[in-house]
A and B are shown apart, each in its own frame.
Chain A
């Protein structure tokens, strides 16, 4: 399998649940990203991992917790989310240390009830 793979494709969770999103890249890239995509808004960068070093966007609430065990895998752990967190969560990777272009997965559509 090639490219960037995200699972699950769809997720419905209650506000008290704990769930995780998974991303795997098969491109040999050294940087991975989590983006949040909401309707009619710019893509919002949440986290960057470059060679296992995490760079955070300080506006991301602590109920989102990333994990990058190696350069091919990235997780986003979710707990006590709010309805406004419902969105499409996109994983991406890039060659080198944060160099363009970005290669995106197809996203996880998250609904918080």
Chain B
């Protein structure tokens, strides 16, 4: 019930392409869906987050798409750059509580120059 399933495990994209990472959840009480970005040797950092009252949120080249009925959300990285190469984690929580954040297993993105 608390799991967040993330796919793919790894992703290779050409520079300028679109990177898409998907997550699915079961718990309908989740109401906060952040994405974290982690570079090698660094801790994860919040990238972008969405609440279920909107279907899409965009910040620069990064967009979260949210499908409440399907219980799925995805991260789209437009015009992917080699500097975007990192591991991306989706997460979900109830009432935006950091204490109750449930993370996906991560996607290692490699953007080829």
Contacts and interface: CB of A to CB of B under 8 A. Distances in A.
A53 B8 CA distance: 37
Interface residues of B, number: 25
Contacts of B101: 45, 100, 102
B35 to A, nearest CB: 11
B61 interface: no
Interface string A67-111: 000000000000000000000001010100011111111110000
Interface string A37-55: 0001111010010100001
Contacts of B106: 40, 42
B98 A99 contact: yes
Given A40-B106, A100-B32, A92 B99 contact: no
Interface of A: 4, 31, 33, 40-43, 45, 48, 50, 55, 90, 92, 94, 98-107
**Leading 3 A-B pairs by shortest Cβ distance:** A104-B43, A98-B99, A94-B98
